[in-house]
Amino acid sequence: MQAAMRLALRGGFAAMTVRQIAREAEVAAGQLHHHFSSIGELKSQVFIRLIREMLDMPLVAEDASWRERLFSMIGSEDGRLEPYIRLWREGQVLADSDPDIKAAYLLTMNMWHEETVAIIEQGLACGEFHSSEPPADIAWRFIALVCGLDGIYALGTQA
């Protein structure tokens, strides 16, 4: 799994062939087939683990404000995230044609939402945020905004 994760971060989903993963892991290709029912299953599991790793990455100090934490969750410019974001974009495109990737993408979108909701709830509880809207709705709006802006950026139309 670690070998496939390294390949995914370096070269995306296309880099995760059975041969490449086996070579990177220094195992026989048959070993991969023994542990995963298909390459699609392996790719989707790698995607989920990498997005979880990205969500768990410490991007702000322990004593950061909830506003800073929210920004880091939805709009961080930390360069360490770039390989993960490239993979996220690729997953979004592949989700249209690959049911395993689609399921993984939807799961990771919900993971991101849960993390964002938790930050908003903490910020509300501490009095740093003020809103009468449900935190889950606020989180979805932020995520929709980020995804839309990311799509504009990916098209090369940033001004």
pLDDT tens for each residue of 62-88: 999 999 999 999 988 899 999 999 999
Is the pLDDT confidence value at 157 over 80? no
Give the Cα separation of 149 and 152 in Å (integer): 5
Please count the structural domains in the chain.
1
The overall average pLDDT reported for the chain is 93
Q: What is the DSSP letter of 129?
A: S
Evaluate whether residue 95 is within a structural domain: yes
Evaluate whether residue 8 is within a structural domain: yes
Evaluate whether residue 24 is within a structural domain: yes
Given phi > 0 = left and psi -120 to 50 = alpha, else beta, which region is 127?
left
How confident is the model over 94-140, as pLDDT tens digits?
999 999 999 999 999 999 999 999 999 999 999 999 999 999 999 99
The residue segments making up the domain with residue 59 are: 2-154
Evaluate whether residue 91 is within a structural domain: yes
Give the Cα separation of 65 and 39 in Å (integer): 42
State the CATH number of the domain containing residue 17.
Answer: 1.10.357.10
pTM of structure: 0.90
Evaluate whether residue 159 is within a structural domain: no
